[in-house]
């Protein structure tokens, strides 16, 4: 992975720097994606209590466009 050609990220007016966490959740099921919303809610509440904020969720697809995993990006001030 490279950042060549990418825009420069500037610090906000208060000089905040961020740290990031990547989470992965398997949602592959026999009859299509399966998501345990209670498990996800517990994870996000715990992360929120630790100061993490969910920024985005990306689906990871494999064969025939089936979603097998969800990848979440979280951030908090460093």
pLDDT at 4: 57
Domain assignment present for residue 56? The answer is yes
In the chain, the number of structural domains is: 1
Supply the pTM of this predicted model.
Answer: 0.72
Decide if 75 contacts 51 (C-beta within 8 A). no
Domain assignment present for residue 3? The answer is no
pLDDT at 10: 58
Decide if 59 contacts 70 (C-beta within 8 A). yes
Band (pLDDT 50/70/90 cuts) for residue 19 is: very high
Extract the tokens encoding 39.
Answer: 């498990």
Closest alpha carbon to 78 in 13, 22, 21, 3: 21
Domain assignment present for residue 10? The answer is no
Q: Residue 63 belongs to what domain range?
A: 18-77
């Amino acid at each position: 992975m490279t950042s060549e050609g990418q825009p420069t990220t500037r610090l906000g007016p208060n000089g905040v720097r961020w740290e990031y966490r990547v989470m992965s959740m398997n949602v592959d099921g026999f009859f299509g994606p399966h998501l345990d919303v209670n498990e996800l809610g517990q994870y996000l509440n715990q992360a929120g209590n630790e100061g993490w904020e969910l920024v985005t969720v990306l689906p990871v697809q494999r064969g025939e466009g089936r979603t097998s995993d969800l990848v979440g990006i979280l951030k908090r001030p460093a």
